[in-house]
Amino acid sequence: MSPTQRSLNYARERGWEPDVVERYCAYSRRRYDLFGVFDLVIMDDLWGLLGVQTTSGSNVSSRIKKMKASDRCTRWLASGMRAEIWGWRKAAYYLKDGRRSATDR
């Protein structure tokens, strides 16, 4: 399951309304984020709009740098919107004797 799919499921489980705003260009075979930063926008009655960058757990630090360097992200935040990075990874499970389990859950 992709990080975007995990994020969609996570948001829907909480009763939020997410929408994918990343688009794919078949000609260049590249994905383009909304404003160069966001993969999802989530609408919530309590907090308003939230822009989300989804990624694997190992890429969170590079996404933080990407958001900090983005003028559009700065304008998004200045307008009262929120932004978050959601990183996903498989959790390691350990047995009682301290050995790592052969399967991840």
Measured distance CA(85)–CA(15) in Å, rounded:
19
- The whole-number pLDDT of residue 102 equals 65
65-71 long-range contacts, CB within 8 A, separation 24+: 66/37, 67/37, 70/35, 70/36, 70/37
Percent of the chain with pLDDT over 90: 74
Q: What is the tens place of the pLDDT at every residue in 9-39? A: 999 999 999 999 999 999 999 999 999 999 9
Q: All domains of the chain, ordered by start, with CATH?
A: 3-88 (3.40.1350)
Specify the 3-state DSSP secondary structure of 3: helix
Token pair for residue 97? Answer: 């004797």
| Bridge partners for 83 per DSSP | 51
Measured distance CA(58)–CA(15) in Å, rounded:
28
